Amino acid sequence: MRVADLKTMAEQESAALAVFRARLLVCYSAPCLAAGADAVREALEKEVAGRGLAADVQLVSTGCLGPCSRGPMVTVSQPGQADAVYEKVTPETAVAILDHHASQGPPADGFRMSPENPFLTRQMRVALANCGLIDPERIEDYIARGGYGGLAHALHELDPSEVCFEIKHSGLRGRGGGGYPTGLKWNLVRKAPGAKKYVVANGDEGDPGAYMDRTLMESDPHRVLEGMAIAGYAVGAEQGFIYVRGEYPVAAQRLDKAIKAAERLGLLGSRVLESNFNFRIDIRIGAGAFVCGEETALMASIMGLRGQPVPRPPYPAQKGLWGCPTLINNVETFGNVPDIVSKGSDWYAASGTPKCRGTKVFALCGQVENTGLVEVPMGMTLREIVYDLGGGIPGGRAFKAVQTGGPSGGCIPASHLDTPVDYEGLQQLGSIMGSGGFIVMDDRSCMVDVARFFMEFCLDESCGKCVPCRAGTVQMHRILTRITQGKAGPDDLEKLEALCEMVRDSSLCGLGQAAPNPVLSTLRWFRDEYEAHIHEKRCPAGVCRLTPSEGGER
């Protein structure tokens, strides 16, 4: 396929879609399916066939649209009109919606999500731009929306150093949580000597409560592939790996299908878009190890070894897979790349804050009215995310904390809700941006119990290579368990703090270094809760069952 063919295909596809009077996009992702999206689609199919509307109305099964707690979602797209989004659709309302949009029936406004709903208006969708609006299994849908245009532009109009410059200039930083400037990393790999180089997409989304990478891989797989191919061209790699978490079989299937479709059209494989650039992508399925989100452990896993990290330096950019320079970025980072290249770095750099450009996807969940996936410009405050997009706490309860960054992050109290979200802002509060988990807790959550929960996670997921992490997490977990059981002594807090510092300073990789974060941040903001457990033998939130006894171990 040539660049001209790509353009023709996009035009043809758009023309083919313009024929339909209405396109009904049924969200077919797991939350909507569990809410009954299947029955909705069935009812629509029957109705469309029964009325002989097949030539006027198109039914599409899409990936995730975002407002997951309001599913099943149906979006109606009509030429010349703004998209109408319907929530909590049942088979009956689906027919009413069809009536209104295809047969001039009365409007079904009762089920329509208001176009002014902040959940829709406050978002800025870059990585998620196509999610919920295209059929993820059709490459044509992606191309019709400008897909692979970034790759075509890079291959035919820019040289590799210019691509790296664009990325650097855009201010994009690693969306996996580290926040390392992506352009710098690309340049390091580009300049690293070596005949063979690799590109790796990290889709091992292990943080509990985070699912943006899954959504992106399931709902818009080609965007990730295009981002990887652009990276391959920029750094001089011919082989890419996408490491998908074992818990996400659908993502792996869709990526597999997407790779094959792209290869068939000459958008991956040999001589991509008739240029001299070759790029292959292989999928590697993870096998359930949180530590594999760490880049050196992930590379070990790709090479068929136990996923244990190794000390850095040498960084993967110098010595990665099989000793060759390797570029590792998160799936969401790659998801931003195609638009940066096709629309220009200035466009991307215009959003966000001076230090953190662009957008970030958050998985909004926990005790909040609207759960789901949101992509917001950097610099939006936590309060806006919780109350405007999230719609506040259900049942009129009080907000207590928001947990970001999973087991490596921390809890942020109500007094700091006006902090703008960016890497540094969250770090100052003792948390991290992380991959984008955003869990809201109300007054029924006990912070000590939450810290114990995360410590149990880290203790279980510690790979066992270095002693501070392997033994330290066990000791910290013991103390936390004692506290939640009401068996802790007055000096336990001091011991806990000392252990936290030791594990943080002396662990080999990010897992251990960040494992004390949930404890440190809850100690910092909710120390009174720890003290109530220890001195008064009571749990302020009423979660822990305290059974004081004489100095029992565990």
Partner 1 sequence: MSIETPTPESHPGGDPRYKLVDRALKRFQYRQDALIEVLHLSQETFGYLGEALLTYVARALKLPPSHVYGVATFYHFFTLKPKGEHNCIVCMGTACYVKRAGEVVEALEGEFGVKAGHTTEDGKLSVSIARCLGNCSLAPLLVVDGEVLGHETPESTLAKVRAAVGKEQAE
Q: Does 371 bind partner 1 (CB under 8 A)?
A: yes
Q: Does 301 bind partner 1 (CB under 8 A)?
A: yes
Residue 456 beta carbon to partner 1: minimum distance, rounded to whole angstroms:
9
Sole binder of partner 1 in the list 210, 273, 500, 520 (CB under 8 A): 210
Q: Does 69 bind partner 1 (CB under 8 A)?
A: yes
Q: Which is nearer to partner 1, 183 or 437 (CB)?
A: 437
Sole binder of partner 1 in the list 302, 324, 466, 499 (CB under 8 A): 302
Q: Which is nearer to partner 1, 167 or 292 (CB)?
A: 292
Q: Does 496 bind partner 1 (CB under 8 A)?
A: no
Closest CA to 348 of 378, 384, 373: 378
Considering only residues 34 to 63 of the shown chain, the ones binding partner 1 according to CB under 8 A are: 34-35
Q: Does 289 bind partner 1 (CB under 8 A)?
A: yes
* Angle in degrees, 0-180, between the axes of helices 517-525 and 447-461, rounded to the nearest 10: 170
Considering only residues 248 to 287 of the shown chain, the ones binding partner 1 according to CB under 8 A are: 248, 284-287
Q: What is the largest CA-CA distance in the chain?
A: 79
Instruction: Please check whether residue 145 is in contact with residue 151, taking contact to mean a CB–CB distance below 8 angstroms.
Output: no
Tell the burial category of 124 from Cβ atoms under 10 Å away from its Cβ (0-12, 13-18, 19+): middle
Q: Does 296 bind partner 1 (CB under 8 A)?
A: no
Q: How far is CA 247 from CA 208, 283, 451, in A?
A: 12, 14, 25
Considering only residues 226 to 245 of the shown chain, the ones binding partner 1 according to CB under 8 A are: 245
Q: Which is nearer to partner 1, 140 or 461 (CB)?
A: 461
Q: Which is nearer to partner 1, 441 or 493 (CB)?
A: 441
Contact range with partner 1 by CB under 8 A, out of 91-99, 295-303, 343-351, 524-532: 295-303
Q: Could you give the CA distance from residue 208 to residue 412 in angstroms, rounded to a whole number?
A: 17
Total residues in contact with partner 1, by rule CB under 8 A: 53
* Residue indicated by tokens 């703004």: 82
The sign one gets for the Cα dihedral 515, 521, 526, 530 is positive
Residue 30 beta carbon to partner 1: minimum distance, rounded to whole angstroms:
5
The sign one gets for the Cα dihedral 261, 332, 325, 462 is negative
Considering only residues 503 to 542 of the shown chain, the ones binding partner 1 according to CB under 8 A are: none
- Both tokens of residue 42? 């069935």
Q: Does 393 bind partner 1 (CB under 8 A)?
A: no
Q: Which is nearer to partner 1, 149 or 286 (CB)?
A: 286
Q: Which is nearer to partner 1, 172 or 302 (CB)?
A: 302
Sole binder of partner 1 in the list 3, 25, 33, 53 (CB under 8 A): 33
Q: Does 214 bind partner 1 (CB under 8 A)?
A: yes
Amino acid at 394: P
Q: Does 366 bind partner 1 (CB under 8 A)?
A: yes
Question: Residue 436: CB partners within 8 Å, gap ≥ 6?
Answer: 175, 177, 210, 212, 332, 360, 361, 362, 363
Amino acid at 242: I
Q: Which is nearer to partner 1, 157 or 460 (CB)?
A: 460
Q: Which letter, b or e, does each residue of 135-171 get, where b requires 16 or more Cβ atoms within 10 Å of its Cβ?
A: bbebbbbbbbbbbbbbbbbbbeebebeebbbbbbbbb
201: which DSSP letter? E
Whole-angstrom distance between the N-terminal and C-terminal Cα of the chain?
66
Q: Could you give the CA distance from residue 260 to residue 265 in angstroms, rounded to a whole number?
A: 9
Residue 267 beta carbon to partner 1: minimum distance, rounded to whole angstroms:
24
The sign one gets for the Cα dihedral 337, 339, 343, 346 is negative
Instruction: Please check whether residue 181 is in contact with residue 172, taking contact to mean a CB–CB distance below 8 angstroms.
Output: yes
Q: Which is nearer to partner 1, 282 or 424 (CB)?
A: 282
Instruction: Please check whether residue 273 is in contact with residue 155, taking contact to mean a CB–CB distance below 8 angstroms.
Output: yes
Q: Does 306 bind partner 1 (CB under 8 A)?
A: yes
Give ∠ CA 542-548-550 in degrees, rounded to 5: 165
Q: Which is nearer to partner 1, 131 or 144 (CB)?
A: 131
Q: Does 184 bind partner 1 (CB under 8 A)?
A: no
Q: How far is CA 50 from the centre of its chain?
A: 40
Alpha-helical segments (H) within 51-159:
91-103, 118-121, 139-144, 149-157
Radius of gyration over alpha carbons of the chain, in Å?
Answer: 25
Sole binder of partner 1 in the list 50, 52, 110, 304 (CB under 8 A): 304
Q: Which is nearer to partner 1, 9 or 210 (CB)?
A: 210
Residue 149 beta carbon to partner 1: minimum distance, rounded to whole angstroms:
30
Residue 538 beta carbon to partner 1: minimum distance, rounded to whole angstroms:
20
Considering only residues 102 to 141 of the shown chain, the ones binding partner 1 according to CB under 8 A are: none
Sole binder of partner 1 in the list 4, 305, 467, 498 (CB under 8 A): 305
Residue 458 beta carbon to partner 1: minimum distance, rounded to whole angstroms:
11
Contact range with partner 1 by CB under 8 A, out of 65-73, 330-338, 487-495, 503-511: 65-73
Q: Which is nearer to partner 1, 57 or 331 (CB)?
A: 331
Q: Is 451 helix (H, G, I), strand (E, B) or coil?
A: helix
Considering only residues 403 to 442 of the shown chain, the ones binding partner 1 according to CB under 8 A are: 403, 406, 437, 439, 441
Q: Does 206 bind partner 1 (CB under 8 A)?
A: yes
Q: Does 485 bind partner 1 (CB under 8 A)?
A: no
Residue 527 beta carbon to partner 1: minimum distance, rounded to whole angstroms:
21
Instruction: Please check whether residue 104 is in contact with residue 331, taking contact to mean a CB–CB distance below 8 angstroms.
Output: no
* Interface residues toward partner 1, by CB under 8 A: 30-31, 33-35, 68-69, 71, 205-211, 214, 245-248, 284-290, 301-308, 363, 365-367, 371-372, 403, 406, 437, 439, 441, 445, 450, 453-454, 457, 461, 463
